Chains A and B, each alone.
Chain A
Amino acid sequence: MAAPTAAPPRPGLPSPAVARYGAILLLLAAAGLFAGQGVYNATRGPRWLAVVQSCAAGRPLDVVPDVATGAAYLRCVSAVEQERAGFTFAGALAVLLLGAVLMLVLPHGLLWRARPLRPAGAEIAGRVAEAALRLGLRRPPAALFGGWRLQEPFTVRTLRGIRVILPRGLRRLPPEQIDAILRHEAAHVRAGDVTLVWLTRGMWWALIPALLTPPFLINGRIVLAHPAVLAEAPLELLKAMVSGPYYWNYSVRSLLLLAVATTVAAAVLRSREHEADLAAAAGGRTGLLELLRDEPSPRRTWWRRLRAIHPSARRRLAALGDPDRTMELRPLDAAAAAVLIAMMTPVLHLALPANPANGLLARSTHLTGVVSGILFALVWGTAQWRAALVAERTGRPMRLRATSTALAAATAAGLLTHISGGPTLGLGAFDNPTMLALLPPSVGAAAAASGLLARAWARGAAGAPVAGATWAGIAVLNTLMFSGALWISCDTFALVQSAGGWVAGVRGSLGYYATHQIGAGTVVALWVLALRWARDRSGPSRVAFLVIVPAAAALAARWLVFTDPTDQLNALHRDFWAMTAAGGAVVAVLLARRGAAGLVPAMTLAPAATLLVAATIWLRYLPAWNYPGAAAGHYLTAAFAVLAPVYLLAALVALLLPARR
């Protein structure tokens, strides 16, 4: 293999490992929510059911009630729902606290196993101080030699400060290799995850009790109720306990969750090693390269690669030779992030209480969408924008199609396999065919739209350092896009369910979206950003053509074709459809002409077309408006808000198109 040369690190890019820690916290929280729910079901479940059935007053619970009946029902179940939510969130808190405690305790266990510890001596201490100085640490960590069983160096934080524990075999290395190791360990200290990394280990000790608690409580109640059976027929009791579909379903789902946890935890550990290598190589690469070249690098199967807590020496050398590779998008990372978030989404939704006082039932879907949207934004959205900068620098493709498809597919897989799901697939709130047809493609579309915007941004930003505030802004933008996608799909699902069919549901949904001020705000934000980032702007005549012709055609259709008399609400919906058609036509033309690269330019022109339609309609009826100001506000909101689903659909189409310049 040709000797790779380490390039200097790229400052200003957020660490991929940080978002993955978030994913682990999410996993713990989801398991905790589930355990809390399980404890509630086992201890208070019968009471909850009695109250819910009494409040339903004989109505089937799966029938959508009218507004008044629904409100009365919610008031009735409010108290038990609050209690249920209390248990559920207490479960999440308990598991997260357990994870935090383990994060602090487990390093001491490793230190104990690495003993006897003894000071590494003045020479090593001097080298540690120099490495710390190079890496910008204010205080150098203390260096200690471990016992003879210790095979590799590691760094931990104790109550007395940070300790770098070194194997005795370190002393046989040449000085530049020793320095490389010490810089690597100092890089971990600088990354600030010396304690946080123990989440990847503590996670197991927190997850497994959380997953075992519900079946333990259910079975414990049986045993407590019939203690004599335990003595007389223990095997029969055990068989009865584990033979039902509940246990098989639960076991399979738990194992899947643990498999995903293994993959994510291993990915965290591998990516932090790459990051520390890159930081260490910045202070002198020869020692590290020699050290890694001497390491054996056996071929691993894909499953072993997935579970490996260290990257192979070959991969480490490759990453040092081409650091940009560590920042590129991989379908596997997309899938791991999406499975985790999608597994958590139904659990969180189930955990939220039905409570009309604070509107949580009405908004529980939206609240779930915001939380999941934030997670998608932080874990995947940021990765996409970082990868866009890298792609601009290297000229290599972003792999947006592959990763967005993986994100959508894994979202569907996560919704199907989440831990709260029942034994029968397709009947839950999130794993039914309608939701699966809506939510995963929406997430994939949001990722595609975000990625295409990121590409447009990166063309102008590549090469320049990116400020922390910019990354915060990117996180907010991604949150709006992913949360919006989740809201749109969940709302469409609810409207399709209540309307009893897709056509009626989608028709009704446009009227719903058109009044959505957050959706309108997001489209305005996208408009402003697209105006700034769209590279080659069309001339005024072409712009006028692209905006005016679709707007005029939509207005003509609105007033010349749909002439039959109708009620006020239906007329309003026709206005919304006219705006949607005008904006959609602009988007379609630009996608047809420029492929995927047409989406961002389309975001600059489509709002102009919808605004033109909205303004014309408003002006035509100006003498008839009782409150012209309020009407203008509604039409202004609608002109932007109707574009949100159009953009999502366009992003899905863009994924299938080649990008033409």
Chain B
Amino acid sequence: MFRPRRATPARTDPLVAAIATEVVTAAYPDELDLLPELLATAGRDPRRLRARRLRAPVGMGVDLAVATPVLLSALSFVAAAAATSLVDGAMSRLSSAAYGKVAKLFGSGEAADTAGPDPEAVWQELTALWVTLLIERGMRADLAAATAVQIVAAMRRRDRPA
């Protein structure tokens, strides 16, 4: 039966942890109890969050997977890409303005925020990025859209002018 386990101290990116906590609190409050364990997992090895989901062969056939691991996986991926400047997949298709915004928030802070004349377009581009990343990681499209909006809102709150 269930025995509570002491989570290994997390070494997750503080911004990833903060945004994840904010989004989960707002959109998936029922998953808050899972957050410490999942943050610890993300800190040890974020790839483990993308481990294959368990689809019971005799199950009901409806997808009720928790959203937090997918959210953390996407956030960790973006944070890693921003920190190392190694962009791949959906990240590579970002405009320089959008990438600059990501680099400014998640990266070392050295990348210039080259926001263009239409900052809303940048946030929309970033929303689309999150939707893509979340769906790639197995989240349902409707949940991905709602979650992406929450992530971008959390990012905007942290986007202070230089």
Contacts and interface: CB of A to CB of B under 8 A. Distances in A.
Interface string B35-57: 00110000000000001111111
A418 B2 CA distance: 49
B54 A146 contact: yes
Contacts of B69: 148-149
Given A149-B53, A168-B31, A172-B30, A269 B64 contact: no
A511 to B, nearest CB: 54
A152 B2 contact: no
Given A151-B54, A152-B55, A154-B58, A117 B2 contact: yes
B162 interface: no
A649 interface: no
B28 A152 contact: no
A197 interface: yes
A152 B61 contact: yes
A147 B62 CA distance: 16
A152 B30 contact: no
Q: In terms of DSSP, what is the predominant structure of the interface of chain B? A: loop
Nearest to A171: B30
B63 interface: yes
Nearest to B61: A310
Most interface-central of B5, B62, B141 (chain A CB within 10 A)? B62
B56 A114 contact: yes
A292 B58 CA distance: 17
- B: contact size bracket: 20 to 34
Contacts of A166: 64
A201 B57 CA distance: 8
A58 B67 CA distance: 77
B26 interface: no
Contacts of A119: 2
Given A116-B2, A117-B2, A181 B62 contact: yes
A283 interface: no
Contacts of A151: 53-56, 59, 63-65
B1 interface: yes
A152 B62 contact: yes
Contacts of A296: 140-141
Contacts of B140: 294, 296
21 contacts: A110-B58, A114-B54, A116-B2, A149-B54, A150-B54, A151-B56, A151-B64, A152-B59, A152-B61, A152-B63, A155-B58, A169-B63, A169-B65, A171-B30, A172-B30, A181-B60, A185-B60, A197-B58, A200-B57, A291-B62, A295-B62
Ordered nearest first, which 3 A-B pairs have the shortest CB separation? A310-B61, A171-B30, A118-B2
Interface of B: 1-3, 5, 28, 30-31, 34, 37-38, 51-69, 140-142
